[in-house]
Amino acid sequence: MNETLKKIILELLHSMTFDAEIFERQEEGRTVFNIRTRDAQLLIGKQGANLEALQYIIRILFRKQTQDDRFPFAIDIDDYKDKRVLYLKELARKAAHHVRETKKPVQLEPMQSYERRVVHSYLSLYNDLFSESVGVDPNRKLIIKPKARVKDADGFNFIENS
């Protein structure tokens, strides 16, 4: 499967006049095909839009050629997705700090679903905050809010989502 997929990727890139190398790695139960090329920014596009489109096309070509839709894989370009995950976690950390300081919600810019999942997952480490996605794609945003504190009759503080 890996060699078939590599061939599909290279043929597609070649037809688009891109020179590239492909490196594989295993990650979270799937194979990631990381494309190395001088034209990385063009293939990645604004906020990874071209990369997502490229992955979608490759997935269709792979399914058409192999009749297999169970082979889990992802496409990356020059480790863009790994770098983006680090950036998103740092963005979430800073936003969480701001929410803690101001006790006011923070709304992040629109993100793709996998990016929102990264932020939600990271923020789940904070027991005094919660996050929710609002809006409709492609403008779906993530909001980080402080959890409401509720005192019971004995004076204990409980945290609950509002």
How confident is the model at residue 144, as a pLDDT? 96
Query: What does the pLDDT look like over 35-72, one tens digit per residue?
Result: 999 999 999 998 888 999 999 999 999 999 888 778 88
The pTM assigned to this predicted structure is: 0.75
**Interatomic CA distance for residues 132 and 107, integer angstroms:** 10
φ/ψ region of 106 (left if φ > 0, alpha if ψ in -120 to 50, else beta) reads beta
How confident is the model at residue 152, as a pLDDT? 55
How confident is the model at residue 75, as a pLDDT? 94
How confident is the model at residue 14, as a pLDDT? 94
List of the chain residues with pLDDT < 50: 162
Q: Is residue 151 within 8 Å of residue 157, measured between CB atoms?
A: yes
Q: Is residue 108 within 8 Å of residue 142, measured between CB atoms?
A: yes
- The token duo for 30 is 């799937």
Cβ atoms within 10 A of the Cβ of 149, count? Answer: 10
Sheet containing 30-36: give its strands across: 21-27, 30-36, 73-77
How confident is the model at residue 46, as a pLDDT? 87
List of domains in the chain: 2-78 (3.30.300.20), 83-160 (3.30.1370.50)
How confident is the model at residue 148, as a pLDDT? 79
How confident is the model at residue 68, as a pLDDT? 77
How confident is the model at residue 114, as a pLDDT? 85
